[in-house]
Each structure stands twice: as C-alpha cells, then as structure tokens.
Amino acid sequence: MHSNHRENFLIRKALFSSARYGPQLSKEDEEDEEMEKQKQIRQKKLKQDLSILIRKVISAANESPEDLPSLMTQNIEVVFSMQGYEGVQFLEEFIAEAESGADEFELESLTEACDYILSFSEEFVEQARVMDEENKKLIGKIIRSMTKGSETVREENLDKVLEDEKDNFTPGFLRHIEGECDRIAAAPNMTPESSKMLQTLRTIQLRVVEELGADLGEAALVLGQVLGYEKKSERLAVLQAGLMVQGVEFAKEMSALATEALEGFRELPVMADSELIVKVEEICNKIDEYIESENVFQ
C-alpha cells in the first residue's frame, strides 16, 4: 500500500510541477539580494506550514476522514502558497526524511498525507485556472457592452448584461476584478491604454457592487449574504449599496438582527469564532454609520 502512495505522489509531482499557477519570479528578481532574502523567509514559512498541515491531515485521516476536505479548505492559503515546484519539493523532503528514520506505519501515513495534499492542490490549480478564464470572459462581456453604440445604448446594454449575469457576481469575481486593478496600478509605466482599462475596471467593480447590494434579500438573510465576502472592503461596499437601496427602516431592522446575533455569539457556552464576531461588529458599525448619516438629513 505504501508503494502505491509513493508512486502516486511521484506521478502527481511530475504533473503538478509543470502546471504552475500565478506569476513566477524572473531570473533578474532571483539575483536581487532583497528578493532572495524575502524568498528564503517565504520558503521557511511554507515548509513550517506544510509540516503542520501534514500532521493535521494524518490526524484527520485516522480520526475523521470525512473532515479532510473541510480541513484543506480551512488551510487554503497554505495550498495556494505551495503552487509550483518548491511546495512539492518540501513534501518530497518530508518523505525522504521519514524513510531514513520512521517505521513503516508512520512512513505510510506521511506518504498518504502528502499524496492527499498534492492531489487537493492539483485540483485547486485546475479550478483556479477555470475560474480565472471564466472571470476574464465575464469581464470581457461587460466591457463589450460598454463600447458599442451611443451613450444611451451603452448604458442600456450594460444594465442588461449586469442583470443577466447577476448570478455570476460571486466574491471570487469581485476579488478577480480587484486583482486586475492592482496588477495594472502596480505596472512600472502607466500608459494611456492601461489607465483607461483601470478606469473601466473600477467602473465595472462599482456597478457590480451596486448590483449585488440592490439584490440583497430580506433583512434576516442579508447578514449571511454579506458575511460571504472575505475582504472587509467587499463586505462593507456591498452592504452600503444595499442599505442605500433599501433605506433607513431596512437598516434599522438589520441592525437589530446583527446586534442580536452578536449577543447570541457572546452567550454561547463555547466562544464563537473571533473572526466572525469581528466581521459582525464591523457590519453593525457600518449600519449605525448609515443610519446616523441619514438622520442628519431628515
């Protein structure tokens, strides 16, 4: 059984190492002293994180295998960080070290865990590639609607595309737009074309956020919808758009629900996730700010 896992791991290594996802360091960057220092720090952290993840996977495999996918999702940053050759190399180093000192059972458990991590990462890379392509196609479709016909026609076309594609406006799509904006803004030389593209993407980002906010449902469901956005800026932007559409009474209802949720978290026998509590507190504060700002004008 061990030999099968070892063989699977080596096959995955060969395939995975050739399917890198994301930007790679250039030779010039590698020669830069500061970049090399940062690379070493990043590699050290990655190796430590992988070592911890392997132990968690071994434990889950022995105690509750059904929790393995959830465990990997909770450690998705580690999975993302290992894209390319070095992550696979670290896994192979762990196996090589175990082969010289661990017993057969420990070696098999470690090899199986490494094979599982690599398998999950392989699937993650493919899903990321597909999502990246789909997001680019969607942005292209929106941009085309903004470039044909008179100003009135362009606005009508944009409204229609935004309405038709609403179900595809996921947190991942918003993150993709933000990433494209950051990439263009970070370019050493900003050309008129790239400046125009950045402006266009920011416009799309704003309209998508407005569309998402306008589509928020009943107050009892909004909290869960808004919490689905990982980045604070995304959560609060969508929330703000929704409050502006729904009005003060809706905001008051949602404020009461969010406050009740916070109190419920704090009264649980086991403390709720601290990150979740922070998110709800931020939402409460944003709602209160909106209500206060509206009351000024009444």
The residues, ordered by sequence, that sit 6+ positions from 202 with a Cβ below 8 Å of its Cβ are 181
For the segment 202-233, what is each residue's pLDDT rounded down to a tens digit? Answer: 888 878 877 766 655 565 566 767 777 777 88
Distance CA 258, CA 283 (A): 8
Q: Is the pTM of this model over 0.85?
A: no
Residue 105, CA atoms < 13 Å, CB-side half-sphere? 1
For the segment 2-38, what is each residue's pLDDT rounded down to a tens digit? Answer: 456 656 665 555 555 544 444 454 555 555 677 777 8
User: For residue 169, is pLDDT > 60?
Assistant: yes
Quick one: how many helices (H) and strands (E) in the chain?
14, 0
Cβ atoms of 123 and 69 within 8 Å: the answer is no
- Listed in sequence order, the DSSP H helices in 32-67 are 33-63
For the segment 257-295, what is each residue's pLDDT rounded down to a tens digit? Answer: 788 777 776 665 445 567 777 888 888 899 999 888 877
Q: Which of 12, 106, 120 is nearest to 62 (CA)?
A: 106
For the segment 32-78, what is each residue's pLDDT rounded down to a tens digit? Answer: 677 777 878 888 888 888 899 999 999 999 888 888 888 887 787 78
